[in-house]
Structure 1
Amino acid sequence: MNRTLLSLLVVVSLTGCASKQKTSSATDTLPDSHNNRAPTAVAATPRTSADDDEEALRRMGALAADPVYFELDSATLKPESREMLNQLATALRERPATRVTVSGHTCELGTVEYNIALGHRRAAVVRDYLRNLGVAPAQLSIISYGEERPLSEAHTDEAFRKNRRAEFTFSSAEHATRAKSH
């Protein structure tokens, strides 16, 4: 009777172990062709915050956006910018943890105060366009640099055109939250 009870206990404990879920990997499903043993479980490697940071950067790596250019003394989006912003909005809706800072820039024509205000209007029009396309307001922030960060220091019409822009900086909310807590 004791042997029967002991055998039953062993069978029950083995059955309980077999029903536990394990981490799946490619080697879990391959039979051992050398000795017909059951496949063994592979231990999962614990994730570190560096792994999470790398994953966040990888997901954002696909996000890139060309600057949005504006006419002189204007904060009106050009038609050619709208298609790029439509694609960016789609990417941002798919990545709700990604944050974007839209920075507004101007050429050096005008006063410093006027250019800061114009840069702000340019960044705001881009932000508002993205919001209208369904990007969450919490994902978007703006800043104006006015004429402080020119792409070109030259005093040519082409240089002035390149400096009248809005640019994008991407970050991960998860990464920023983790950085603040450390």
Structure 2
Amino acid sequence: MTRLLSIALVTTSLIFAAGCGSKKKKGDQAGTPEGQISTQPLNFDPMGSDSGNIVGLKTINFDFDRATLTSDARRLLGENADWIRQNANVTVQVEGHCDKRGSVEYNLALGERRAQAVKNYLVSLGIPSKQLTVISYGKEKPVALGDSEADYASNRRANFVPLPQ
């Protein structure tokens, strides 16, 4: 039994070591010529956002336990669609979030519905679906840590994050 455990441990160690040992050669970076760095700005402000909002895109808020877009949310998404059209080279991830009430599983599903509602509306405004991805963080990434209704309302949102090109 000890010998079997030792063999399994050695095998696992070798698998992990093999995955960590490769180096990239110079010039292997796709999309940029050797020795050059892309100078295209993303208009990205990591200090002024929760998990990386793109400057120029507005966060969308939701009512309690809802994934439906309000008239204000649709107006903001119209403005966001204009920004996305002007930055067609940027892939945007829509993150769905919830307040801390409810189970982890429930909030992950609700966050997914919120992010998908935002994506669907943007697609209906002519944004290519391939330019948008969705993810749910449920209640795992709050922007407000308190227990007031205002804090809860701040956390019921969908925000926008640039993805690496």
The TM-score, its normalising length taken from structure 2, stands at: 0.69
Which of residues 21, 28, 42 is equivalent to 1:57?
A: 42
**How many residues are treated as equivalent by the alignment?**
125
The answer to whether the aligner puts 1:124 opposite 2:116 as a matched pair is: yes
The structure whose residues are more often helix, as a share, is: 1
Which of the pair has the greater relative contact order for Cα pairs under 8 Å at 6+ separation?
Answer: 2
Q: Which runs of 5+ in 2 are unaligned?
A: 1-32, 46-53
Instruction: Name 1:156's counterpart in structure 2.
Output: 148
Percent identity between the two aligned chains: 35
* C-alpha distance 95-47 of structure 1, shift in aligned 2 (>3 A): farther
SS at match of 1:103: strand
Offset of residue 49 of structure 1: 3.2
Contact 1:100 1:141 survives alignment (8 Å): yes
Instruction: Name 1:145's counterpart in structure 2.
Output: 137
In the alignment, the residues of structure 2 paired with residue 91 and residue 138 of structure 1 have an alpha-carbon distance, to the nearest angstrom, of: 16
The answer to whether the aligner puts 1:108 opposite 2:109 as a matched pair is: no
Q: Which moved more, 1:162-171 or 1:114-123?
A: 162-171
Q: Which runs of 5+ in 1 are unaligned?
A: 1-45, 177-182
Offset of residue 87 of structure 1: 1.6
Q: Which moved more, 1:83-92 or 1:139-148?
A: 83-92
Contact 1:116 1:145 survives alignment (8 Å): yes
Instruction: Name 1:78's counterpart in structure 2.
Output: 70
Contact 2:85 2:127 survives alignment (8 Å): yes
SS at match of 1:74: coil
SS at match of 1:65: coil
Cα RMSD after superposing both structures: 2.2
Give the aligned residue type for 2:139.
E
> Looking at CA atoms only, which structure, 1 or 2, has the larger radius of gyration?
1
